[in-house]
Amino acid sequence: MSAFTGKVVWMTGAGTGIGKAGALMFAREGAAVALIGRRRDTLDEVAAEIQALGGTAVVEALDVADRQKVDVAAQRLLERLKRVDILVNNAGINVLNRRLDEITAADWDYILAVNLTGAFNMVQAALPTMRTQKDGLIINVASTAAKRVSGVAGIAYSASKFGMLGMSLSLTQEAWKFGIRACCLCPDDVNTPIMARRKVKYPPEVLEQFIQPEDLAETMKFVALMPKRTSIPEMIIYPTNIRPYTPAESGLPS
């Protein structure tokens, strides 16, 4: 029997990067995976990979920032898959012009709506079933931008990830009595498509030294396999070769 046989995982941002790697890992380990994201084409591609492995995948094209659609989608998933054991809040976006003197109010609203409110919407959708089950795990994928600010991440992204960390730690404090655990992952640079939305572009040999999506999938597996009596509220993950930011990247004085 595989590690997650009989379990159901909801994975947001499942079409690419960390979400795709996590979805494939959970599927290989026996879980049925709900693939949640805005682009059906990429979700369908991941679903096809999972099905080729002999796994179970359900595609739910969804903007997590839309609370009403989240609630409707959650009901569809529960009718089909009957339960939710693990929710991974991985959906996240950023914009190109992200510093204080560049960012627009519309971009601020957009980033907070997806990265923070979207995660809250998914938590609200999953919690009632987890409470009934008296069991559940919520993994929130934040960033080291939740621990320190820099011009690389930008003001809105940093605010959203600080907020996600606060939400996740609040869940740890409040949800344990219902048998629900929460963990906030705070990775540094990960080689995902979001890197293309930075003004500073990195060559392949640098990207290879970053954390890879599969590394974060293994981190999720580690957290999910902990005994129910044990909770990991927060994990910080760095590349072994920690790349120092230049003053131009960080926005800090030299």
Catalytic residues, by residue number, are: 157
CA distance 110 to 94: 9
Q: Which of 14, 16, 119 lies closest to 31 in space, CA to CA?
A: 14
Write the secondary structure of 67-105 as one string of H (helix), E (strand) and C (coil).
HHHHHHHHHHHHHHHCCCCEEEECCCCCCCCCCCCCCCH
Phi, psi of 184 (to 5 degrees): -105, 115
* Residue type (1 letter), 113: A
Residue 236, helix vs strand vs coil: strand
CA distance 109 to 107: 5
Contact 64, 39 (CB under 8 A): no
* Residue type (1 letter), 163: G
CA distance 38 to 73: 13
Helix (H) or strand (E) segment spanning residue 217: helix 213-224
Contact 33, 11 (CB under 8 A): yes
CA distance 92 to 130: 24
